[in-house]
Amino acid sequence: MNYENILTEIEEGIGLITINRPTKLNALNKATIEELHEAFKTLDADAAVKVIIITGTGEKAFVAGADISEFANFSVEEGGKLAAKGQELLFDFVQNLSTPVIAAVNGFALGGGLELAMAAHFRIASDNARMGLPEVSLGVIPGYGGTQRLPQLVGKGRAMEMIMTAGMINATEAKAYGLVNHVVPQEELIEFCRGIAGKIMKNSPKAIARAIETVNANYQDGVNGYETEIKAFGESFGTEDFKEGTTAFLEKRKAKFTGK
């Protein structure tokens, strides 16, 4: 599929999505959010794609925020719809995708950009990355899950400080906070992400999908994550991946998992 605002490629089981709006520092507008939804949906449905990496084009920005010009004149109702639609189409969609998503944060990840990175299953940053939620400086608050996911990742106190000051933290601070897993030189970022993706791809896709589901269950209101885990654990015994994984272990060979 041809996209106007993003690039996609598949290589050796890894789907790479690159937000490609360099003149706008890869800012998220409505069209880009819709294209990202389609790209994630398409790659998730592709049995050959085992891991997805999301990044931004160039060396300056992952995503420098939302495209403010699109909503500067919105009403209360329009603002609410903007957040609801965005969360449904992209941010919640990515968080609950059964294919693992790694955010390769290659520069500024601000506002909606940081929210997109936080929706991914984990994050790896280049050493020049800068992250923050500056929305209160515009008289608004994060609307794509930022007030919920940031405290989950860095703790309430640090999240409150980042949101209320509208300030940025650097990659080293982000790693110390637990916001990113690794910090690597800019030129090594994608290759490093591919290395981790390679480790993930050796394991059972079905089990990984269940693991994503059960970890996320802990953060859903009214859902007992332990019960979700017990159910998913039991159901794993009925999969071909379980048979292959246990047989390979007993036969002292490497498991060969197929499909998703």
The distance of Cα 200 from the centroid of its chain, to the nearest Å, equals 15
188 is catalytic: no
pTM for the predicted model, two decimal places? 0.96
135 is catalytic: yes
Q: Which two tokens stand for residue 125?
A: 């940053």
Contact between 16 and 57 (Cβ < 8 Å) = no
Catalytic residue among 4, 59, 115, 227: 115
- Host H or E run for residue 89: none
Catalytic residue among 4, 12, 78, 135: 135
Q: Which two tokens stand for residue 129?
A: 């990355």
Assigned CATH topology for domain 6-201: 2-enoyl-CoA Hydratase; Chain A, domain 1 (3.90.226)
pLDDT tens, the chain, 260 aa long: 789 999 999 999 999 999 999 999 999 999 999 999 999 999 999 999 999 999 999 999 999 998 888 888 999 999 999 999 999 999 999 999 999 999 999 999 999 999 999 999 999 999 999 999 999 999 999 999 999 999 999 999 999 999 999 999 999 999 999 999 999 999 999 999 999 999 999 999 999 999 999 999 999 989 999 999 999 999 999 999 999 999 999 999 999 998 78
Break the chain into its structural domains and give their ranges.
6-201, 205-250
Distance CA 196, CA 141 (A): 34
